[in-house]
Amino acid sequence: MHKPGNVLMVCLGNICRSPIAQGVFENMSKNFKISVDSAGIANYHIGDAPDRRSINVSKTNGIDISTQKARQIRTNDFKNFDYIFVMDNQNFSVVKKLALNNKTNSIIQLLNDPFEIEDPYYGDDKGFEIVYDKIYQGCKRVLNNWK
């Protein structure tokens, strides 16, 4: 994982974790000519804006994710993205299975490898701060590998 490439951030719903990851990575990778996007494994929230708590914690850290819209991961993602970063082990196993069906060269990894970034949906605001910090660490980890 040593050179810049297009990045897709993936979680379950694409409303809590991966929108933050997209926003943070876009912000950190401005010097690279890459595209950054996010998607969910599930279809529950297609078209929805990010969770208010994700918008708020990002805003506190100077990042506006309010205009993002949730979408589901699709076949073309395995062609268009060099890196697919997932948040937890469940995301990882689902995306790995999809990858087998789509014969991809995309590198699939936990964003904060070797740690998981757990689903904060049913938790409180503090959970979103913890998620934000783990996402930030994960994005730094990836960019440090690109130097």
CB of 143 to ligand 4NP, least distance (A): 22
CB of 84 to ligand 4NP, least distance (A): 15
Please say which residue, 13 or 78, places its beta carbon nearer to ligand 4NP: 13
Please say which residue, 11 or 55, places its beta carbon nearer to ligand 4NP: 11
Q: Which of 2, 6, 77 is nearest to 35 (CA)?
A: 6
Is 16 annotated as catalytic? no
**Chain position whose Cβ is nearest to ligand 4NP:** 13
Helix and strand element counts for the chain (H, E): 5, 4
Binding mask 80-119 for ligand 4NP (x = CB under 6 A): ---------------------------------------x
- Choices 6-14, 27-35, 60-68, 96-104 (CB under 6 A): range interacting with ligand 4NP: 6-14
Distance CA 9, CA 11 (A): 7
The residue count of the chain comes to 147
Q: Per-residue DSSP letters for 102-138?
A: HT---EEEETTTTS-----TTS-HHHHHHHHHHHHHH
Is 17 annotated as catalytic? yes
Q: Could you say whether residue 134 binds ligand 4NP (CB under 6 A)? A: no
Is 53 annotated as catalytic? no
Distance CA 60, CA 119 (A): 20
